[in-house]
């Protein structure tokens, strides 16, 4: 019954706009294509797949704290369970023993050819959406150990694990962004009782720069929001104002949320992001071009999108020192901007060329706005129901 009402609504929208017959056909095909691929958009909408591993080196032991979203933890357990366990519905209780077994088996420390076995494991739920696995190893009499994390092989393609290594006194020994392809890291152990200077092996800035680019390019909801803003812009001045307002706004909330100065649950942030997309699409339909207050609207909505970006970083516990948090934060934000500007550089010349055709402005700009409003409404309803 729902599908029937959706179809009737689409037909009404098509015929209520004075499109030419050929334009109606093309628009109908576009909306149908959206309905077919929307699950794909939903799956990819700003979900890069991120977890964390904090390694603390002491004089007698090495502690590892693994942080996962609950859904990722369920995926890891299901990957090693038998079929009957894998078929259990999402949301069932996660057994600590299974989580600890996955962590101990897939997160390994090696000294030469010898694998170190954790002598103590534990699991705790930090909140309703996040889980931590603790592993404790005996520190070997060595100057170097290798860390190998094969956890990403149990998780969806593209998952990343942010690794930070430090001493008990908080001295940074190294940082890296691990993946299924690059799952190892060499740790130089400090002499017992000494506090060496910070390691030069920090890869966090460039790793987070790349992660920011990947995040925006796979964040279909953020990209659709930007497209909705750009499709009605007539000149370089208007698009510069829109991009600047969006960048300043999401940079503010990205920093505040990552530093844990502002916190809103994902069940509020995610539907609100979708609502901003639907609003801009409807506003384009009503006004036909960017209204005078578009800069203010973009800034306010950019604050909300910044909270969505922050979800990709906030769960890491990126060091306790100021530099340990600021460098990855700046790298990620610059990556987001680089990805955003790359998309704009490709899309804008095409849009401006098309706007020279009066038929595009009269028929296809409203058609695109309808598709944007439908997509935003779809995501909003879906996210509200899932929360």
Q: Residues 264-311: pLDDT tens digits? A: 887 888 899 999 999 999 998 887 776 778 889 899 999 998 888 877
Average pLDDT on 220-242 reads 84
**Residues of the chain above pLDDT 90, percent:** 18
Q: So what's the pLDDT on residue 48?
A: 54
**Residues of the chain above pLDDT 70, percent:** 76
Contact 99, 73 (CB under 8 A): yes
Average pLDDT on 235-258 reads 85
53-99 per-position pLDDT tens digit: 999 998 889 999 999 988 888 888 886 664 344 444 444 457 888 88
Note the pTM of the prediction, 2 decimals. 0.55
Name the pLDDT band for 232 (thresholds 50, 70, 90). Answer: confident
Contact 178, 149 (CB under 8 A): yes
Q: Give Dmax over CA atoms of the chain in angstroms.
A: 80
Q: So what's the pLDDT on residue 205?
A: 78
DSSP 354-365: HTTSHHIIIIIH
Task: Identify the residue whose tokens are 């990556």.
Answer: 335
Contact 142, 111 (CB under 8 A): yes
Q: Which residue has the higher pLDDT, 325 or 25?
A: 325
């Amino acid at each position: 019954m729902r599908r029937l009402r959706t179809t009737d609504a689409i037909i009404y929208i098509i015929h209520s706009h004075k499109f030419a017959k050929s334009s109606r056909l093309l628009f109908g095909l576009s909306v149908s294509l959206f309905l077919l691929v929307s699950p794909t958009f939903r799956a990819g909408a700003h979900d890069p797949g991120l977890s964390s591993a904090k390694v603390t080196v002491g004089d007698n032991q090495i502690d590892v704290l693994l942080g996962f979203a609950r859904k990722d933890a369920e995926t890891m357990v299901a990957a090693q369970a038998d079929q009957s366990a894998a078929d259990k519905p999402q949301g069932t209780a996660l057994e600590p023993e299974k989580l600890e077994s996955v962590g101990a088996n897939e997160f390994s420390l090696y000294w030469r050819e010898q694998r170190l076995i954790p002598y103590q494991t534990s699991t705790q739920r930090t909140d309703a959406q996040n889980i931590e696995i603790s592993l404790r190893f005996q520190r070997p009499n060595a100057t170097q150990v290798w860390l190998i994390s094969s956890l990403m092989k149990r998780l969806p393609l593209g998952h990343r694990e942010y690794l930070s290594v430090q001493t008990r006194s908080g001295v940074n020994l190294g940082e890296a962004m691990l993946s299924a392809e690059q799952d190892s890291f060499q740790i130089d152990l400090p002499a017992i009782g000494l506090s060496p200077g910070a390691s030069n092996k920090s890869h966090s800035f460039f790793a987070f720069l790349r992660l920011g680019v990947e995040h925006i390019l796979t964040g279909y909801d953020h990209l659709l929001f930007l497209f909705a803003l750009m499709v009605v812009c007539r000149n370089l001045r208007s698009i510069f104002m829109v991009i600047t307002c969006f960048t300043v706004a999401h940079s503010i909330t990205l920093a505040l949320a990552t530093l844990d100065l502002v916190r809103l649950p994902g069940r509020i942030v995610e539907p609100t992001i979708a609502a901003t997309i639907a609003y801009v699409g409807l506003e384009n339909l009503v006004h036909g071009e960017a209204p005078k207050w578009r800069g203010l609207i973009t800034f306010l909505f950019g604050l909300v999108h910044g909270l969505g970006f922050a979800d990709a970083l906030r769960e890491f516990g990126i060091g306790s020192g100021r530099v340990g948090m600021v460098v990855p934060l700046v790298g990620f934000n610059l990556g987001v901007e680089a990805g955003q500007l790359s998309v704009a550089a490709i899309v804008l010349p095409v849009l401006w060329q098309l706007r020279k055709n009066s038929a595009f402005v009269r028929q296809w700009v409203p058609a695109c706005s309808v598709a944007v409003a439908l997509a935003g409404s779809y995501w909003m309803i879906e996210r509200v129901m899932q929360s």
